Amino acid sequence: MTVTLADVAARAQVSPATVSRVLNGNYPVAATTRERVLRAVDELDYVLNGPASALAAATSDLVGILVNDIADPFFGIMASAIQSEIGGPGGRAGGERLAVVCNTGGSPERELTYLTLLQRQRAAAVVLTGGAVEDAPHAAAVAAKLRKLADAGTRVVLCGRPPAPDTGAIALTFDNRGGGRELTEHLIGLGHRRLGYIAGPEERTTTRHRLEGHRAALEAHGIAEDPGWTVYGRYDRQSGYEATLELLRRDPSLTAVVAANDSVALGACAALRDSGLRIPDDVSVAGFDDLPFSIDAVPSLTTVRLPLAEAGARAGRIAMGREDAPPGGIATIRGELMVRGSSGGPRVS
């Protein structure tokens, strides 16, 4: 039914071994023979059997990319950048690799299952993006899995995720703490003293780090934080909307709202507007990530730009072994404060 290597070999009047070598180009084959083989491949419309090849060669051309939420541009942008580097069609030489983007939905179980699936496929590399879940048993399970993957020869890269010690994984970490701190210091500098914070899911490292940065800034400026000023939620718009209403209910005197990310900030803006408050005249708003739409908010969003595409591209190159790992296997990537229209001085109460 389907065309096999042997068929091509027969047609080209050579042995299967020769066909394989022509296809892989890793062994000298006379030019005329190569021609003949390639013609046969073409005429028969032969397509290599991936599984068979992977089995025999004990390697595959699959690269896994784990993301928390593929529908979120934060991950989409990184995934896109990673994929553009791992080759595949359009990429540079070095064999075509297939990117497997896996959507974990932020669930640790799924993350593990996907890692197993990738291990099963003998993936050439795996890139894990975004914050990790802090639950200890799961973290340990993931770490064990990563170690196993690394042992099996799969290159493991973390992109936008804290390092996983003793796993052999290369980490490209975002400086969420520093960014969070800088952002809040900017607001404090404008004169704000009563700042609400809309955090992401509580057990996520990203959430914690950004919040820590925020609190560090408060502390550094002698601002005592009211526990009611922090609300946890999800990393989406709706969560930001609801959390903002809650924040307003708890303390209507807040003059600024710092959001866990831009989507949340957008929700916050909507909630503020719906509550009859002006931005930034009545309340300033700040986001995080600087996703493409953030500049189009009205007023445009003050936020911390994370070089997602650059980080993804670098992670991709490292995963492909085309770039050296950073010293110590860990690199911290800083964000850049983008001051825009959504932040201003506090209203005079």
Partner DNA sequence: TATGACATAGAAAGCGCTTGCTGTGACGCT
Partner DNA sequence: AGCGTCACAGCAAGCGCTTTCTATGTCATA
55 binds a second copy (CB under 8 A): yes
21 binds, among DNA, a second copy, none (CB under 5 to 8 A by kind): DNA
Kindly state the tokens that stand for 299.
């007023």
101 binds, among a second copy, DNA, none (CB under 5 to 8 A by kind): a second copy
Helix (H, G, I), strand (E, B) or coil at 327: helix
Strand partners, 289: 305
60 binds a second copy (CB under 8 A): yes
x/- mask, a second copy, residues 89-128, rule CB under 8 A, reads xx-----x-xxxxxxxx-x-xx-xxx-xxxxxxx------
φ, ψ for residue 285, nearest 5 deg: -130, 140
Which residues does 251 contact at the CB level (< 8 Å), separation at least 6? 194, 196, 226, 228, 229
What secondary structure letter does DSSP report for 289?
A: B
Kindly state the tokens that stand for 39.
């013609």
Kindly state the tokens that stand for 293.
């739409």
Nearer CB in complex with a second copy: 154/184:
154
List binders of a second copy among 168-207 (CB under 8 A).
Answer: none
Helix (H, G, I), strand (E, B) or coil at 195: strand
224 binds, among a second copy, DNA, none (CB under 5 to 8 A by kind): none
332 binds, among a second copy, DNA, none (CB under 5 to 8 A by kind): none
* Burial of 85 (C-beta count, 10 Å sphere; 0-12/13-18/19+): buried
Nearer CB in complex with a second copy: 104/167:
104
Give me the least distance between CB of 227 and a second copy, in Å please.
29
The footprint of DNA (CB under 7 A) covers: 2, 4-6, 13-18, 20-21, 23-24, 26-30, 32-33, 46, 48-49, 52-53, 55-58
Give me the least distance between CB of 90 and DNA, in Å please.
22
* Burial of 45 (C-beta count, 10 Å sphere; 0-12/13-18/19+): exposed
CA distance 185 to 330: 27
Q: Is the CB of residue 233 less than 8 Å from the CB of residue 198?
A: yes
Nearer CB in complex with a second copy: 21/208:
21
Give me the least distance between CB of 67 and DNA, in Å please.
28
Supply the Cα-derived Rg of the chain in whole angstroms.
25
213 binds a second copy (CB under 8 A): no
φ, ψ for residue 70, nearest 5 deg: -65, -20
x/- mask, a second copy, residues 214-253, rule CB under 8 A, reads ----------------------xx----------------
Nearer CB in complex with a second copy: 77/187:
77
Distance, C-alpha 94 to centroid of its chain: 24
Distance, C-alpha 279 to centroid of its chain: 30
Cβ count within 10 A of residue 138: 17
Nearer CB in complex with DNA: 5/254:
5
Q: Which stretch binds a second copy (CB under 8 A): 68-76, 206-214, 250-258, 282-290?
A: 68-76
Binding site for a second copy (CB under 8 A): 2, 45, 47-55, 60, 62, 69-73, 75-77, 79-80, 83-84, 88-90, 96, 98-105, 107, 109-110, 112-114, 116-122, 148, 152, 236-237, 263, 266-267, 269-270, 273, 292-293, 295-298
